[in-house]
Amino acid sequence: MNLLKNLSSTAKSNFFTYALIVGGYIVIQILSLTGGLTYSLQGLLIPVCAWIIMAISLTLTVGIMGDLSLGHAGFMSVGAFSGIIALISLEAVIPLVGLRVIIAMLTGALCAGFVGVLVGIPVLRLRGDYIAIVTLAFGEIIKNIFTCIYVGMDNAGLHFGFLLSSGISELNLGEGARAIVDGPQGLLNIPNKIVTFSMGFILILAALFIILNLVNSRAGRAIMALRDNRIAAESVGIPVTKYKLIAFAVSAALAGAAGTLFAMNFSTVVASQFNYLASIQVLVFVVLGGLKNFWGAIIAAVLLTVLPESLRFLDEYRLLIYGILLVLVMHGTYSNIIHKLLNFFRSLFPTPDKLEKQ
Amino acid sequence: MKKVIIMALVLLLAVTLVACTGAEPKAGGGAFKIGGTGPLTGGAAIYGNSVKQGAELAVAEINALEGIQLQLRYQDDEHNAEKAVNAYNALKDWKMQISLSSVTTTPGIATSKESFDDRMFGLTPSASSTAVTEGKDNIFQMCFADPNQGSASAQYISNNNLATKIAVIYKNDDAYSKGIYETFEITAKELALEIVSITTFTEDSQTDFSVQITDAQSKGADFIFLPMYYTPASLIFKQCDTIGYRPKFFGVDGMDGILTLEGFDIGLAEGVMLLTPFSADATDPLTKNFVTKYNEKYGEIPNQFAAGGYDSVYAIYKAILASDGDIAPTMGHAEICEKLIAIFNGNFVFDGVTGTGVSWDSNGQVSKDPKAVVIKNGEYVGM
């Protein structure tokens, strides 16, 4: 215990975040070994991993950088589409599944990060509400572009098409034809079930490692300084665009990796799934998690993904009750009793928040 | 007040957790457990609820015969592939033995893959994309596949000389609409039908059709083909009426349901033609019985989605009967699956409200004749 006391509060908070993830992983593994996992929960494991990564990466943009982004699901779809295209097209070259999954995730992350930089350059010159509106628009643009893309593969290689009026048949695929992206039908024939919960767990750890290290680095302090007082930060020579772009691109890249993970769990994914409602859902995770708390965002992501599913026994009243619960939870976290409870937990596990105040 | 809220909150969370972990479902108990997913809430809810009600009616009728007993459960998938897989998993927890797959296409593609991996027999009432059945030997469709709808529409228009100059408006970001349009275009070219205007819209732009309508009008189209769901179609009728443009309209099965759309002036749909496997005014005893009972139970005239749900349950029931006691409710889903596949791929012929002499090919696609109906005095009338 002495060891814990000697740690700085940031380290304690980080330690708790890691412990939460590892603990959750162990509990799930034990449950699955003892057969205590229902099919519902089994099916939710990988999507929950993906939503956790989405939540912590958006916490970086919204909580740490202080800019409201409403297009986060757009980056997820970039990752989903590019990652799956890589996964399928490399099937013949790299037979090793694990390696192919890693390459697919890296491709997804790189493509989403690249789009993040492209979007970030104009967007991050704006301030406040304008960023929210423009990111919202970018998310919708990305969605609409993916709706018009056609990708097929035959023995000669990949074929790309855009806005084909008679669909994928216009790609004139030769022998060994296989449709990968079919316009509005989205990604088809995804070899699903190749990712496991453990891979999702490792990806969460990697994402946490990247984000927490970034936040606690020189760049992270610069980003938080820009958030707290932009003018003061600029006056001491912190380059605004550079640091904001770093945070935004890292956040986008991790969302991309999450998108690849998410898509690999399903046999089909359509671009319209990643609409602004999905972005707002992630934002809800972040807000409920307390904006700057990574572990809060993780808990919120798990809770709000599992909750609507565990309410299925309510049949037609399900979404109604879910809505009421959401209001109560949001209300409850700001009322007295829960506040005291939260303060109690906070005294155990200090957040970066408190550190700043010290 | 706050205490009350918090108490309610804690109570609800506790209930949730209990429901989430415990409550192992009971075994079939002599009844086959049939499950399905469909949009019971949201924009496509009318389809999900229609299929569900049709299936419920069939189950009630079959159980009343006191022979084979069925249990039916529908789960909401919100017309979303991710939620559909969750709903399917929840049904697996309920120990579903036979699946009615999903009602709509995109969720259908996702759940049929799961069902294929699990060896769970699936018969979808209305998920019409070929991607639902492709490469999956245990998934069957009760409805026409999209390409068949597109080519059958073109064929029908050509055979009956319905049009000289055709305009098409379709939804570019929708697998169903695009799928039908693609084959319509190919067949229309073969039959030398003249398409003068092709315009599109998306989910985000389906409230204003003035551009598409003006394009069709200015190019002299006297016939508009609308491969889409009924909600955007209702707006197209309204907006055409407003500018006094009155071409003939032709829809596909998604148009069905327009007469029960709330707040829609059904006078606007007068003369609209649609291709559907089901018409509620047919005089055969099966359809009459179905329409009367459905109307008694739910207070509305069934559309073809309800008919599809009704027929799907009956097809499964007839297949179980055809097995001559070889399929029992005590069997696991994988065993039932193999036996049902053998029956559906065999000489099994089914007579239902969506067609007579219905059979299935080895791809799981259905073969039956499409019917065209026209809306007259606010009702579907066979053509």
CATH number at residue B51: 3.40.50.2300
Residue A236 to residue A222: CA distance in whole angstroms: 10
Residues B349 and B290 in one domain: yes
Q: Which two tokens stand for residue B10?
A: 């804690």
Answer yes or no: do A192 and B113 touch at CB < 8 A.
yes
Report yes or no on B13 lying in a domain: no
* B131 and A CB contact within 8 Å: yes
How does DSSP classify residue B126? S
The stretch B41-47 carries a mean pLDDT of: 82
Residues of chain A numbered 100-139 and touching chain B (CB < 8 Å): none
Residues B73 and B193 in one domain: no
From B174's Cα to the closest Cα of chain A, the distance in A is 5
**What residue in A sits closest to B49 (Cα-Cα)?**
A316
Burial of B11 per CB tally in 10 Å (0-12, 13-18, 19+): exposed
Residue B141 to residue B149: CA distance in whole angstroms: 13
Residue percentage of chain A with pLDDT more than 70 = 90
**What residue in B sits closest to A334 (Cα-Cα)?**
B2
Task: Report how far apart, in Å, the C-alpha atoms of A347 and of each of A4, A22, B29 are.
Answer: 13, 22, 53
Report yes or no on B57 lying in a domain: yes
Report yes or no on B18 lying in a domain: no
Residues B217 and B336 in one domain: no
Residues of chain B numbered 146-185 and touching chain A (CB < 8 Å): 171-175, 177-179, 182, 185
Flag whether pLDDT at A1 surpasses 90.
Answer: no
Residues B165 and B241 in one domain: yes
Cα–Cα nearest to B111, from B135, B82, B137: B82
Flag whether pLDDT at B113 surpasses 50.
Answer: yes
Q: Which two tokens stand for residue A334?
A: 């700001």
Answer yes or no: do A338 and B6 touch at CB < 8 A.
yes
Phi, psi of A162, rounded to the nearest 5 degrees: -135, 130
| Alpha helix (H) residue ranges in chain B | 2-21, 45-64, 81-93, 105-118, 130-133, 146-159, 175-190, 210-218, 230-242, 285-298, 304-322, 333-345
Q: Establish, for the pair of chains A and B, how many residue pairs have beta carbons separated by less than 8 Å.
A: 131
Strands B31-38 and A157-162, bridge-based pairing: unpaired
The count of residues in chain B is 383
Residues B44 and B193 in one domain: no
How does DSSP classify residue B300? S
Task: Report how far apart, in Å, the C-alpha atoms of B296 and of each of B58, B289, B290, B299 are.
Answer: 14, 11, 10, 6
Cα–Cα nearest to B91, from A231, A39, A137: A39
Query: To 10 degrees, the CA torsion angle through A168, A169, A174, A180?
Result: 20
3-class secondary structure, B102? strand
Report yes or no on B38 lying in a domain: yes
Average pLDDT of every residue of chain B: 85
Residue B102 to residue B117: CA distance in whole angstroms: 16
Choose the mutation target among A44, A54, A185, A319 for the interface with B, i.e. most B CBs under 10 Å: A185
User: B249 is in which domain, residue-wise?
Assistant: 147-276
The stretch B49-62 carries a mean pLDDT of: 93
Residues of chain A numbered 200-239 and touching chain B (CB < 8 Å): none
Cβ pair A306, B20 in contact under 8 A: yes
Least CB-CB distance to A335: which of B6, B12, B21?
B6
End-to-end CA distance of chain B: 63
| pLDDT-derived band at A263, boundaries 50, 70, 90 | very high
Residue A325 to residue A330: CA distance in whole angstroms: 8
Residue B328 to residue B337: CA distance in whole angstroms: 12
Report yes or no on B59 lying in a domain: yes
Q: Which two tokens stand for residue A230?
A: 């932009």
Report yes or no on B23 lying in a domain: no
Flag whether pLDDT at A358 surpasses 70.
Answer: no
Residues of chain A numbered 270-299 and touching chain B (CB < 8 Å): 270-273
Residues B152 and B255 in one domain: yes
User: Of the ranges A10-14, A71-75, B109-113, B225-229, which one carries the lowest mean pLDDT score?
Assistant: A10-14
Residues B189 and B208 in one domain: yes
Which pTM value belongs to this model?
0.85
Answer yes or no: do A268 and B9 touch at CB < 8 A.
no
Strands B165-171 and B223-226, bridge-based pairing: parallel
Residues B257 and B153 in one domain: yes
Look at the block and give the residue holding tokens 């979007």: A119
Flag whether pLDDT at B99 surpasses 90.
Answer: yes
How does DSSP classify residue B277? S
Q: What is the 3-state secondary structure (H, E, C) of chain A?
A: CHHHHHCCHHHHHHHHHHHHHHHHHHHHHHHHHCCCCCHHHHHHHHHHHHHHHHHHHHHHHHHHCCCCCCCHHHHHHHHHHHHHHHHHHCCCCCCCHHHHHHHHHHHHHHHHHHHHHHHHHHHCCCCCHHHHHHHHHHHHHHHHHHHCEEEEEECCEEEEEECCCCHHHHHCCCCCCEEEEEHHHCECCCCCCCCCHHHHHHHHHHHHHHHHHHHCCHHHHHHHHHHHCHHHHHHCCCCHHHHHHHHHHHHHHHHHHHHHHHHHCCCCECHHHHCHHHHHHHHHHHHHCCCCCHHHHHHHHHHHHHHHHHCHHHHHHHHHHHHHHHHHHHHHCCCHHHHHHHHHHHHHCCCHHHHHHC
Report yes or no on B167 lying in a domain: yes
Flag whether pLDDT at B67 surpasses 90.
Answer: no
| pLDDT-derived band at A110, boundaries 50, 70, 90 | very high
Contact list, B20 vs chain A (CB under 8 Å): 41, 306, 310
Answer yes or no: do A185 and B6 touch at CB < 8 A.
no
Residues B96 and B185 in one domain: no
Question: For residue B96, what pLDDT is reported?
Answer: 92
The count of residues in chain A is 358
Q: What is the pLDDT of residues B238-287, one digit of tens each?
A: 999 999 888 999 998 888 778 777 788 888 888 888 888 887 777 788 88
Phi, psi of A196, rounded to the nearest 5 degrees: -115, 170
Residue A329 to residue A351: CA distance in whole angstroms: 21
Task: Report how far apart, in Å, the C-alpha atoms of B135 and of each of A43, A188, B78, B112, B130 are.
Answer: 23, 12, 26, 10, 10
Q: Which residue has the higher pLDDT, B165 or B17?
A: B165
Q: Of B276, B300, B322, which residue sits at a domain end?
A: B276
Q: What is the pLDDT of residues A213-257, one digit of tens each?
A: 999 999 999 999 999 998 999 999 999 889 999 999 999 999 999
| pLDDT-derived band at B27, boundaries 50, 70, 90 | very low
Residue B275 to residue A271: CA distance in whole angstroms: 29
**What residue in B sits closest to A339 (Cα-Cα)?**
B6
Q: Of B245, B276, B307, which residue sits at a domain end?
A: B276
Residues B337 and B243 in one domain: no
Residue A338 to residue B365: CA distance in whole angstroms: 56
The stretch A330-355 carries a mean pLDDT of: 63
Residues of chain A numbered 156-185 and touching chain B (CB < 8 Å): 165-167, 169, 182-185
Cβ pair B315, B142 in contact under 8 A: yes
Flag whether pLDDT at B327 surpasses 90.
Answer: no
Residue B132 to residue B365: CA distance in whole angstroms: 10
Domain count, chain B: 2
| pLDDT-derived band at A341, boundaries 50, 70, 90 | low
| CA diameter of chain B | 73
Least CB-CB distance to A272: which of B178, B186, B203?
B203
Answer yes or no: do A47 and B82 touch at CB < 8 A.
yes
Question: For residue B371, what pLDDT is reported?
Answer: 75
From A307's Cα to the closest Cα of chain B, the distance in A is 8
Cβ pair A79, A111 in contact under 8 A: yes
Report yes or no on B16 lying in a domain: no
Residue percentage of chain B with pLDDT more than 90 = 30
Q: What is the pLDDT of residues A132-183, one digit of tens each?
A: 999 999 999 999 899 888 898 888 888 888 877 666 777 777 777 788 888 8
Strands B355-360 and B350-352, bridge-based pairing: antiparallel
* A312 and B CB contact within 8 Å: yes
3-class secondary structure, B347? coil
From B200's Cα to the closest Cα of chain A, the distance in A is 10
* B238 and A CB contact within 8 Å: no
Answer yes or no: do A38 and B93 touch at CB < 8 A.
yes
Residue percentage of chain A with pLDDT more than 90 = 49
Cα–Cα nearest to A316, from B378, B100, B74, B346: B74
End-to-end CA distance of chain A: 22
Choose the mutation target among B82, B172, B229 for the interface with A, i.e. most A CBs under 10 Å: B82
CA angle A15/A17/A22 to nearest 5° reads: 90
Residues of chain A numbered 318-337 and touching chain B (CB < 8 Å): 318-319, 321, 324-325, 328-329, 331-332, 335-337
Look at the block and give the residue holding tokens 């009615």: B100
Residues B177 and B118 in one domain: no
Flag whether pLDDT at A54 surpasses 50.
Answer: yes
Residues B264 and B316 in one domain: no
Residue A304 to residue A288: CA distance in whole angstroms: 10
- ipTM rounded to 2 decimals: 0.84
